[in-house]
Amino acid sequence: SNRNPSPPPSAEEAGLVALGSGGPAMGAVATCCSVGKGQNAAQKRDSQNVDERAICVCGNKFMDDAQFCRKCGQKRPAGNEESIPPEVRLVAWMRRRNGVDCDFGAVFEEIFGSRDPVNVRLFDQALKDKGYHFDAKATFSRIDRHAKCGMVGASDFEIFQAEIEDREVEALKHLREFLKSNFTSPGAAFKELGKGEGDELTQVEFIAAMKRLGFASDD
């Protein structure tokens, strides 16, 4: 059946281009039927946020007193910051696990044993069995937002990947235009970022340097 996809998450939100530390959370808002249920839901979310802050988007566990990830350089989210969207964590986890050029449909088939759609319970359990430590149920809801059929399969993962990659292309196009209009060469741009030939930038350093040069994260 035809689907009318809503605007896909930005490259910044997906954590795929280091232009920001993550966009606004996009999980569904639960409606509570009573005060008691509302309090229980809030307590559950608070506990979930604590768990999320213990693990970086790249999948590495933060040291107890660390402010940055020792593997990828990502800043640890503070208690008052919005958490990284659940589908963003899934993309980062898959690309770290299966490679940055992985095919999401093939990853789905490897994890679930076929291309057939699965329900939220099986989705959650299979990802946990593979070492996924984040909110798989919220991720399921995000991927199922087009069909809204309560099932997610390999084809849904492929649609999701197409959305992500389309937005990546746009993000990189804006970045190239910004660099071309402000610098004479890539080397000159890199030098202005505070690094020389052979040096490397962590994501955190890149974000700070780009903001200093006037490139807004919303771009």
CA distance 198 to 93: 28
- Determine if the pTM surpasses 0.85: no
The tens digit of pLDDT for each residue in 122-165 reads 999 999 999 998 899 999 999 999 899 999 999 999 999 999 99
Task: Provide the 8-state DSSP code for 55.
Answer: B
* Cβ within 8 Å of residue 204, ≥6 positions away: 68, 73, 74, 75
The tens digit of pLDDT for each residue in 80-113 reads 444 678 888 899 999 999 999 999 999 999 999 9
